[in-house]
Amino acid sequence: MASVKPLIGVRASDVPELTRALAAALDGGPAVWPAPQPAADHLMSHNRSAFAPDGGSSRDIAGEVGDRVALVVETSGSTDAPKRVLLSADALVASADATHDALGSTGQWLLALPGHYIAGAQVIVRGLVAGTETVSLSPGAFDPTAFAEASARMHDHVPHYTSLVPTQLARLLDAAERDAFVGAALRSFDAVLVGGQALAPALAERAEHAGVRVVRTYGSSETAGGCVYDGTPIGDTRVRFDGGRIELASSSLADGYLGDPERTAAAFRTDRDGTRWYVTGDLGEFTADGLLRVRGRADDVMISGGVKVVLGEVERAVRAVSGYAEAVVVAVPDTEWGERAAVAVAGDVGDEASALLTLRTATDAAGLAPAARPMRLVAVDRLPLLVSGKPDRRAIAALLSD
């Protein structure tokens, strides 16, 4: 029988405690489940009799996992029911080492993302591997001024790194235009990793013009975070395609999903030579330069007039248009075509007919088929978001289908 060890629930908002727990887990101690506050409170209220051995106020026993496991990360469940991803200490360290190799050096990290997401937890792991103190923001809504103030607490003699999602980068760039302190802080980072969702070309250009070194990352909880930087695999990561779907092999792959052998078997496959691959939910291809290009989600392919349209490609073309950097493209029913692309954007678009024509021209210019031309444009005050900060595409599709 395989050996097991405790799984410790830790409030993700308690960064010092989470850091101590992760350090112990990397050294072979109990595995860690960083939970957002509501989930952590629920856990504590149902396990009062099973506190962690050290009696820490933010820990509790959440169950047991295999002896290899160091971290359990729950996915957002944006397209399916949430999954709890099992990550070993070896996978976490391999990912951290690959990141530092890709960036050219270890350094000090600023934690600006929640610790219950892999991108946040991995920032802490990188700091532990590098032997540097991780600086963190206070829990709560992201604030550019607080980010700048936190960056001022970082050491001068080591490279500075941070990891953000596109929305955070956009807010920092907006604030930098008003506040030189924020702009200087953002430029002080040797690298700003940006992932979680596609980075709009317009936003990337703004960052470049502002003097910010952005590194686009691609990966997931199942790969212990980003494993492809600016289109290039890092560490020992390998990329292949099966029917256009991206598959990844790496030392940073997860062991599987907690209590879900069927999903594990579907998502991870092993070749005859022993190479283990993670089957992503994304479609991709290599560019002429040999870089990975993510076309979009495999489950975001619609059939319009008998033509397959990858909504991610439509969204990329739309976001290249000024004022549409954070627009979202979804499929909506159409009596004639079956399905058509529709665009949702926050803010005022002016004359809708003229704006829609501009977007259709953009999809044509991107080389997409006529079936990809958006048929509807809806401007809203605020786009519906998931708790992870990503667009809630189901809610947006329902909004545009009305």
Reported as a single tens digit per residue, the pLDDT across 230-279 is 999 999 999 999 999 999 999 999 999 999 999 999 999 999 999 999 99
C-alpha distances (whole Å) from 299 to each of 295, 393, 396 are: 12, 12, 16
Looking at the predicted structure, is the pLDDT value of residue 1 above 50? no
Identify the residue with better confidence: 323 or 101.
101
In 3D space, the residue among 310, 401, 324 whose CA is nearest the CA of residue 361 turns out to be 324
pLDDT of residue 387: 67
pLDDT of residue 354: 93
Looking at the predicted structure, is the pLDDT value of residue 181 above 50? yes
Looking at the predicted structure, is the pLDDT value of residue 45 above 50? no
Q: Give the pLDDT band of residue 301 (cuts 50, 70, 90).
A: confident
Average pLDDT over residues 157-180: 94
- Residue 261: exposed, middle, or buried by beta-carbon count in 10 A (0-12, 13-18, 19+)? exposed
pTM for the complete prediction? 0.82
| Rounded CA separation 279/248 (Å) | 7
pLDDT of residue 40: 44
SS3 239: strand
Range of weakest confidence among 6-10, 51-55, 153-157, 326-330: 51-55
Cα–Cα–Cα angle for 112, 250, 26, rounded to 5 degrees? 55
- DSSP letter at 274 equals S
Average pLDDT over residues 355-360: 94
pLDDT of residue 122: 97
Reported as a single tens digit per residue, the pLDDT across 117-147 is 999 999 999 999 999 999 999 888 899 999 9
pLDDT of residue 77: 52
**In this structure, which topology does domain 68-220 adopt according to CATH?**
Rossmann fold (3.40.50)
Domain boundaries, the chain: 68-220, 297-401
pLDDT of residue 91: 98
pLDDT of residue 41: 47
Please tell me the CATH superfamily of domain 297-401, with its number.
Answer: ANL, C-terminal domain (3.30.300.30)
Range of weakest confidence among 19-23, 134-138, 162-166, 303-307: 303-307
| Rounded CA separation 89/23 (Å) | 10
